[in-house]
Amino acid sequence: MVPLSWYLGLSALLFTIGAMGVFIKRNTITIFLCIELMLNGVNLTLVALSGFFGDVSGQLFVFMVIAVAAAEAAVGLAIIISIFRNRESLNVDDADTLKL
């Protein structure tokens, strides 16, 4: 039987890889993919705890996270398309109008 801490450790590792990607990548779409990776790491925690405690609530939370991720992907990609049309670039450093 796989211990609970292995699942939690793997999900921490996936979350960290995603967080690191947000720091070191400069392509808007790749940063977005790293955010999805972080969401997946958290989902693994929720499903693991739900399985080990025998409570279905954690899985419903994951269901909601997936629904929100779908909404976020649709709106976020629309924003990326809109930025690309205006600036002809996917580099996050080019979208800095709000910066002082």
Partner 1 sequence: MEKALFIIIAVIAVAAALNVLIQRNPLYSALSLIGTMAALSVLYVMLRAQFIAAVQIVVYAGAILVLFIFVIMLLNAPKQQLQIDKQKGLRYLAIPLAGLLLAEAFYVVWRVQDIAMPVVKEGEEAVGTTWSVGVALFTHYLLPFQVAGVLLLMALIGAVVLARREGDK
Site for partner 1 in 26-85 (CB under 8 A): 26-27, 29-30, 32-34, 36-37, 40, 43-44, 47-48, 50-57, 59-60, 62-64, 66-75, 77-82, 84-85
Among 42, 87, 90, 100, binds partner 1 (CB under 8 A): 90
Q: Report the nearest approach of partner 1 to the CB of residue 98 (Å).
A: 14
Residue count, binding to partner 1 (CB under 8 A): 72
Q: Does 100 bind partner 1 (CB under 8 A)?
A: no
Q: Does 95 bind partner 1 (CB under 8 A)?
A: no
Report, in Å, the least distance between residue 100 CB and partner 1: 13
- DSSP assignments along the chain, one per residue: ---HHHHHHHHHHHHHHHHHHHHH--BHHHHHHHHHHHHHHHHHHHHHHHHHHT-THHHHHHHHHHHHHHHHHHHHHHHHHHHHHHHS--BGGG--TT--
Tell whether residue 87 is a contact of partner 1 (CB under 8 A): no
Rama region for 54: left / alpha / beta (φ>0; ψ in -120 to 50; rest): left
